[in-house]
Amino acid sequence: MESNQFDRFLLDSLDQLPPEGLDSKAVTPWRKPVMQILWGMALTAFTLNLWNLRYVLPFLGLLLQYLGFRTLRRENRWFRAAHVLSVLRAAWSAAWLILLAPPLWGTVPDPWPAASNLAAQLAQLLLFRQALRTVYAKNQKKPPHDPLLWATLCLLVMAVCVVWQIDWLPLTVALIGLQILSLWLLSRVGRDLDQVGYTMQAAPVRWSGGAVLGVAGGLVLILTFGTLLWFSHRPPEAVEASQSDASALEMLVGEDAALLVDLPQTYLSLLEQAVSAQVTASFENGSLDGGPQVTAFHFQTEDRWVYTLYCFQWEHPCSWWGDTVYVHVTPYGQGDLVGGGLLWERDGKTWTAPISDLTYSSRREMDPMLGVMTTQNEIQGVVTFPFGSRAQRGYVLFKMQPNPWEINTPSLFAYTHRILPAYPYAQNPSGGRTYSTGRVDFYLEETPEP
């Protein structure tokens, strides 16, 4: 049967009988968009703190609100304004989803987006209310109830309570009650529209609701994970490395001088001033099993400066997702960071780059055991090697000058290895392990009093 004939057959059949259980209330111009708006408001009102739903559901809610207002935008100017606001809110939310996922967490103060979101939510509720009142006015009728006004008041009361930040159980219960009340009030909107909703005008759309949800959701998902990968894997800008001449240090460190050829010649010149040295390659107090091989060098100069060099090397390449190197320097005397670098093999060449974000910090704090103020010196940096690199290795070099009465310069080297890129919205990177040398001591040799 041809398509037209079949259509004719269906039309003729329906002339004879109305369809069984015809639910006339299901076919309306307002039910779908208004329900989308109400569901959207419900999803943005409640949050669930599991499986990242506190991010996903409000975004979905904002998209639903956008779809609802989009359909009704030609009904009156209030709906149009609410539609524009819903576009802004959805775009704003999408930007936040992307910005908050990677390690940018905490760089933007929290109260600001919360306050702006609350203001936008209130504005949208009021616009929605005014839009519905205009629909009633068009039909020369008065709305039987005003649930949106009460929902707005509930939201205002909740906002005031949240701003005060009162941690009081009855208040929490009252807030949950208000939230439920506001949602129940919103659900009454649909019932109230039974009389006048048929006069609403639905605006044509270019993109179906499902397509909008799919594209917007997919785009945010791709950008979120893309940004995450970008921040998790940021290989440093590299230059081709050339081997330095460490032969002058063979007298002090023996065959371990082979490890020193990776250092720039300027650093080697500093170390060549040393009068004594010590190499530590096995760490009894440490936990390096399965981690990188670490070698500690200590060089003491004539004027009691001690240069400490930690060299690390992975047997198998695996450091792609922002590992962290950490050195804790025991607080005696003064010290400073000299430098740190990464080296790797790729395409038959050796490449080098500085360790990213390498910092030296010193802070005073109370020692809980000794009850005295101590100085904590820490060096931190981020280690990411490019994909396809082999023989991944690096070093951290720092110097310290112990007080005249000190004979020891203890330090500790730790390496946190991340197996996977950061998980979205996780404050602490998961899937990693920390390897440590434990405390490494170097006892100074007697030197003449200056």
Partner 1 sequence: MESEIVRRLLQGEEAGMTLLRQRYGGLIDYVIGGILPDARDREECRSDVELQAWQKIGSFDPNRGSFSAWLTAISRNAAVSRLRRQRQEVPLDAVELQAPSAEEAVLRKEREARLQAALRSLPQEQRRLFLRKYYYLQSTAQIAAELGLSERAVEGKLYRLRKKLQRLLGGVL
HSE (CB half, 13 Å, CA atoms) of 375? 12
Shortest distance, CB of residue 378 to partner 1, whole angstroms? 56
Give a three-class secondary structure readout of 112-151: HHHHHHHHHHHHHHHHHHHHHHHHHHHCCCCCCCCHHHHH
Q: Which is nearer to partner 1, 98 or 132 (CB)?
A: 132
Largest Cα–Cα distance in the chain? 116
Alpha helices in 193-232 (DSSP H): 209-232
Sequence letter at residue 373: M
- Give just the sign of the alpha carbon dihedral 122, 128, 134, 139: negative
Rounded Cα distance, 216 and 401, in Å: 58
Whether 189 contacts 34, CB under 8 Å: yes
Shortest distance, CB of residue 42 to partner 1, whole angstroms? 18
Whether 384 contacts 418, CB under 8 Å: no
Alpha helices in 258-327 (DSSP H): 265-271
Output the six-digit token pair for 209. 């609701």
Shortest distance, CB of residue 126 to partner 1, whole angstroms? 24
Q: Hey, what long-range contacts does 368-371 have (CB within 8 A, 24 or more apart)?
A: none
Shortest distance, CB of residue 19 to partner 1, whole angstroms? 6
Q: How many residues are there in the chain? A: 450
Rounded Cα distance, 379 and 291, in Å: 19
Q: Which is nearer to partner 1, 34 or 414 (CB)?
A: 34
Shortest distance, CB of residue 80 to partner 1, whole angstroms? 15
Shortest distance, CB of residue 68 to partner 1, whole angstroms? 8
Shortest distance, CB of residue 235 to partner 1, whole angstroms? 44
Shortest distance, CB of residue 143 to partner 1, whole angstroms? 14
Q: Which is nearer to partner 1, 23 or 284 (CB)?
A: 23
Q: Which is nearer to partner 1, 8 or 349 (CB)?
A: 8
3-state secondary structure of 259: helix
Q: Which is nearer to partner 1, 9 or 230 (CB)?
A: 9
Of 319, 325, 324, 344, nearest in space to 420 by CA: 319
Shortest distance, CB of residue 34 to partner 1, whole angstroms? 11
Chain-centre distance for alpha carbon 354: 25
Q: Which is nearer to partner 1, 22 or 370 (CB)?
A: 22
Shortest distance, CB of residue 31 to partner 1, whole angstroms? 9
HSE (CB half, 13 Å, CA atoms) of 233? 13
Q: Which is nearer to partner 1, 204 or 371 (CB)?
A: 204
Shortest distance, CB of residue 62 to partner 1, whole angstroms? 15
Q: Which is nearer to partner 1, 69 or 321 (CB)?
A: 69
Shortest distance, CB of residue 185 to partner 1, whole angstroms? 22
Q: Which is nearer to partner 1, 206 or 316 (CB)?
A: 206
Cβ neighbors of 442 (< 8 A, separation 6 or more) are 278, 298, 300, 306, 308, 408, 409, 410
Sequence letter at residue 97: L
Residue 299 CB neighbours (<10 A): 24
Q: Which is nearer to partner 1, 144 or 438 (CB)?
A: 144
Q: Which is nearer to partner 1, 16 or 427 (CB)?
A: 16
Which residues sit at the interface with partner 1, rule CB under 8 A?
1, 3, 6-7, 9-11, 13-29, 32-33, 36, 67, 70-71, 139, 195-199, 202-211
Q: Which is nearer to partner 1, 3 or 428 (CB)?
A: 3
Strands (E) located in 247-387: 274-280, 293-301, 306-313, 323-329, 334-346, 349-354, 356-366, 373-383
Whether 310 contacts 299, CB under 8 Å: no
